[in-house]
Amino acid sequence: MPSPTATKHSKRDEIVEIASLLFYRQGYGATGIKQIIEQAGIAKGTFYTHFKSKEDLGVEWLKSRHIQWNTWLNDSLKPAEASGAKVLAAFTFLASWLKESNYRGCAFLNTMAETPDASSPMRREVVEHKRQLHQTFQSLMADHFKNEDVSEEFVIQKAGAAFLLFEGALVETQNFEDPLPITVALKEVQSMLQFKNHKS
Amino acid sequence: MPSPTATKHSKRDEIVEIASLLFYRQGYGATGIKQIIEQAGIAKGTFYTHFKSKEDLGVEWLKSRHIQWNTWLNDSLKPAEASGAKVLAAFTFLASWLKESNYRGCAFLNTMAETPDASSPMRREVVEHKRQLHQTFQSLMADHFKNEDVSEEFVIQKAGAAFLLFEGALVETQNFEDPLPITVALKEVQSMLQFKNHKS
Amino acid sequence: MPSPTATKHSKRDEIVEIASLLFYRQGYGATGIKQIIEQAGIAKGTFYTHFKSKEDLGVEWLKSRHIQWNTWLNDSLKPAEASGAKVLAAFTFLASWLKESNYRGCAFLNTMAETPDASSPMRREVVEHKRQLHQTFQSLMADHFKNEDVSEEFVIQKAGAAFLLFEGALVETQNFEDPLPITVALKEVQSMLQFKNHKS
Amino acid sequence: MPSPTATKHSKRDEIVEIASLLFYRQGYGATGIKQIIEQAGIAKGTFYTHFKSKEDLGVEWLKSRHIQWNTWLNDSLKPAEASGAKVLAAFTFLASWLKESNYRGCAFLNTMAETPDASSPMRREVVEHKRQLHQTFQSLMADHFKNEDVSEEFVIQKAGAAFLLFEGALVETQNFEDPLPITVALKEVQSMLQFKNHKS
DNA sequence: AATGAATGAGCCTTCATTCAT
DNA sequence: CATGAATGAAGGCTCATTCAT
């Protein structure tokens, strides 16, 4: 007998789900409340019983997207056993994700682009998301190099570089609608991971 | 007798200039024609005698921005004599430019973010701009490694990596409003440039 | 065993109390049910179990306001012993009340202004309130002149004039946010009260 | 051959005219832009090419109403030769005007009632309108008493009292939908005007 | 060229009220 | 009694574009 909360699919969640698709595909600014409520089959007023503003929904979108995307990423890293392999798996994930998303890119970076005010609620979600992603690279790198004779600085540098290559590959794959940049980034990270041998 | 193009500061150019500031600061979608014509001191109709649509102006904006930004970049690279130094100078330029622009980021990437259709006129400008920037890194890298015993593949790889680090540093400096990512990218590129010694 | 009505501070009364402040400050039309229930800490539906409509609450507001305002007025008149002094005290009260209310004026006249239909429930409260105020002036004037050789018509005329001066001073003090009109009205009423001497 | 400006009845003026009727009948707040444009037979956007906001139209309404009402008043005073007679004529005008307007009262006082912020653009029009009306009473009174041995203070007092009786009669005639208050005020002013004889 | 009036769909949000729980 | 989801018309206002002058 399944718990009643297991299939909890409230109207609020439903709206977020529908809006997520539209915000991601068309952009936050280009998506109107009208389109959202039409697809959700609800009245204008109903929307505002669930969200106090469009921006409120925007924040919810990014919060749920954060969880969803992290799940996707972590699921992709799981098969890889070594931390180094996990780092590389992140780039493989990047390629398959962007292809599946029709090269629409990163919801967070796209939102940043149309949100100049860095202190706005939605931008805060962007900053936090990327901070955590950066942190993920740092953890993996630290683990990868943990038995090597390398400085902490070195690890931080390589983690940062991997993160930037990831982000760079992300935006340029989106731009060119071609995963070639990911291949380049992957190769670069591969050589970074092997760098420990040169030290010995 | 002065050349007619010397003082060419046509109304059309004036509109582009004003729109450029607004599109960059606020975003293309968030900027209305009304605001542009008000700042330009012209009538609605006058705008449409110069541009057939807002998108038309958007394309003009990106075309002029392309030239302007390339000039800024090239002027920054000029003092550096060696190609390797020029590559590093690009990152120094990146830092000072982003700071001066109040971390509003790259007009082209921001436009990409709010323009899902990659075949649209404005997106074509974005693709071309980034293609040329990538090409610039390739030329500099090729020159830097020209007397070294490295494969063409190697050069392309390193040029691509430098480009992706540049782009990654760009978006993350915009995101965090902090130039730290540029420092990381710069260091990584520095070690890439020195890699030639290890081969000999 | 305390009487149940002694501490009667029912939820209904609480809502009226909260709404009174808002209706008075902002106006009846400018105040939404949402704001009221939020300040009262109750749900939308709860409101409609207590009042069948916003207008219903509006009527309750005016009814309670009528009692409250009359209490204020009567308390101000009490110290004055003679009827004539009471009439003058009404104007002193007018000045202090309007100042304390930040010159928001008369809840009844303000409601009249935004309620064109004179037969509507709320307007009926306005009419009744002003009818009673007029009656108060008539009683005081009748008492003041009771031993003088003046016709009933004369008393009615002076009572009416005092009432109109009161009302005029009220709206213009509200308008100019300055109690000067009250001083003028007071002086005029003062000379009206002394007029009995001229007759003898 | 009539001048083209003689019949100048611009669309802007037409909108003001239509809005004036609605604002006056229903109140400013109770009248929506939708109703105005429907009666004017224009599109939503057209309204906003002529007025930058609803408040902007509201100010225009009061400005034109000020001129219109003053014209009505002055035309009513014109037949009376003496200043004293003009003062009395103002009350006769008050009665006929309010009756014709179906006892909707004064556009300015009604607007004041639903506009708590005394520094708002519309309220400024109200203040100015009443200031001028007060001034009119002062001029007439000064002229009426000019050959009498009365102090300036006395004139100011009587002018103020007449103004307040006018205003009081206005709001209470509106309230009771009965011109009786005007009769009372008129009588009072009549005796005020004759007061000069008592002084001699 | 330049003007600015006109369009009408669309923007996000609030309204007072109802009703199933 | 109390809840809060649901309604849909209405709120004021902006949008990019067209067109007659």
Q: Look at B185 and A161 and tell me if their CB atoms are within 8 Å.
A: yes
Establish if C22 touches chain D: CB-CB under 8 angstroms: no
Would the pLDDT of C7 be above 80? no
Q: Note the pLDDT tens digit of each residue in C133-145.
A: 999 999 999 999 9
Q: Determine the average pLDDT of the residues in A143-156.
A: 94
At A45 the pLDDT is 96
Nucleotide nearest to C35 (CA to C1'): E14
The CATH superfamily assigned to C54-199 is Tetracycline Repressor, domain 2 (1.10.357.10)
Residues of C in contact with D126 (CB under 8 A): 175
At A195 the pLDDT is 65
In chain C, residues 23-42 whose CB comes closer than 8 Å to chain D: 25-27, 29-30
Q: What does the domain layout of chain D look like in residue ranges?
A: 8-51, 59-199
pLDDT tier, B9 (very low <50, low <70, confident <90, very high otherwise): confident
Would the pLDDT of B62 be above 80? yes
CA distance B152 to B160: 12
Closest Cβ–Cβ partner in A126, A171, A185 for B109:
A171
Q: Note the pLDDT tens digit of each residue in D9-41.
A: 689 999 999 999 999 999 999 999 999 999 999
Q: Note the pLDDT tens digit of each residue in B75-99.
A: 999 999 999 999 999 999 999 999 9
Secondary structure of residue C133 in the 3-state scheme: helix
Closest Cβ–Cβ partner in C29, C126, C187 for D157:
C187
pLDDT tier, C8 (very low <50, low <70, confident <90, very high otherwise): low
At C198 the pLDDT is 52
At D196 the pLDDT is 57
Establish if A172 touches chain B: CB-CB under 8 angstroms: yes
Q: Determine the average pLDDT of the residues in C179-193.
A: 97
At B75 the pLDDT is 98
Q: Å from D32 (CA) to F10 (C1')?
A: 8
Other CB atoms within 10 A of residue B159 CB: 24
Q: Å from C37 (CA) to F4 (C1')?
A: 12
Q: What's the fold here for domain A59-199?
A: Tetracycline Repressor; domain 2 (1.10.357)
Would the pLDDT of D6 be above 90? no
Secondary structure of residue A3 in the 3-state scheme: coil
Would the pLDDT of B18 be above 50? yes
At B4 the pLDDT is 46
At C10 the pLDDT is 87
Counting as contact any 3 or more CB pairs under 8 A, the partners of C are D
Would the pLDDT of A6 be above 60? no
Q: Note the pLDDT tens digit of each residue in A100-142.
A: 999 999 999 999 999 999 999 999 999 999 999 999 999 999 9
Would the pLDDT of D3 be above 90? no
Chain A: closest CA distance from residue B9 (Å): 30
Chain A: closest CA distance from residue B162 (Å): 9
Q: Which of C85, C109, C87 is nearest to C172 (CA)?
A: C109
Would the pLDDT of A77 be above 70? yes
* Domain B55-199 falls under CATH 1.10.357.10: yes
Residues of A in contact with B167 (CB under 8 A): 167-168, 171-172
Q: What's the fold here for domain D8-51?
A: Arc Repressor Mutant, subunit A (1.10.10)
Would the pLDDT of C152 be above 90? yes
Would the pLDDT of C1 be above 70? no
Whether there are 3 or more C-beta pairs closer than 8 Å between C and B is no
Residues of A in contact with B26 (CB under 8 A): 116
pLDDT tier, D8 (very low <50, low <70, confident <90, very high otherwise): low
pTM for the model stands at 0.91
Q: Determine the average pLDDT of the residues in D51-62.
A: 98
Contact positions of strand E to protein Cβ (< 7 A): 1-20
Q: Which of D101, D69, D111, D93 is nearest to D177 (CA)?
A: D101
At B3 the pLDDT is 45
Establish if B199 touches chain A: CB-CB under 8 angstroms: no
Q: Do domains A9-51 and A59-199 have the same CATH topology?
A: no
At C153 the pLDDT is 95
Q: What's the fold here for domain A9-51?
A: Arc Repressor Mutant, subunit A (1.10.10)
User: Is strand E in 7 Å reach of the CB of C22?
Assistant: no
Nearest-CA residue of chain A relative to B106?
A113
Contacts 24+ apart (CB under 8 A), B55-60: B55/B120, B55/B121, B55/B122, B56/B121, B57/B15, B57/B16, B57/B19, B58/B23, B58/B28, B58/B111, B58/B121, B58/B122, B59/B121, B59/B122, B59/B125, B60/B16
To the nearest whole number, what is the mean pLDDT of chain D? 93
Would the pLDDT of C5 be above 90? no
Q: Note the pLDDT tens digit of each residue in D78-136.
A: 999 999 999 999 999 999 999 999 999 999 999 999 999 999 999 999 999 999 999 99
Say what percent of chain A tops pLDDT 90.
Answer: 92
Q: Å from A37 (CA) to F6 (C1')?
A: 13
Contact positions of strand F to protein Cβ (< 7 A): 1-20
Secondary structure of residue A7 in the 3-state scheme: coil
Q: Determine the average pLDDT of the residues in C84-112.
A: 98
Q: Å from D29 (CA) to F4 (C1')?
A: 29
Closest Cβ–Cβ partner in C110, C127, C168 for D167:
C168
Closest Cβ–Cβ partner in C104, C130, C168 for D175:
C130
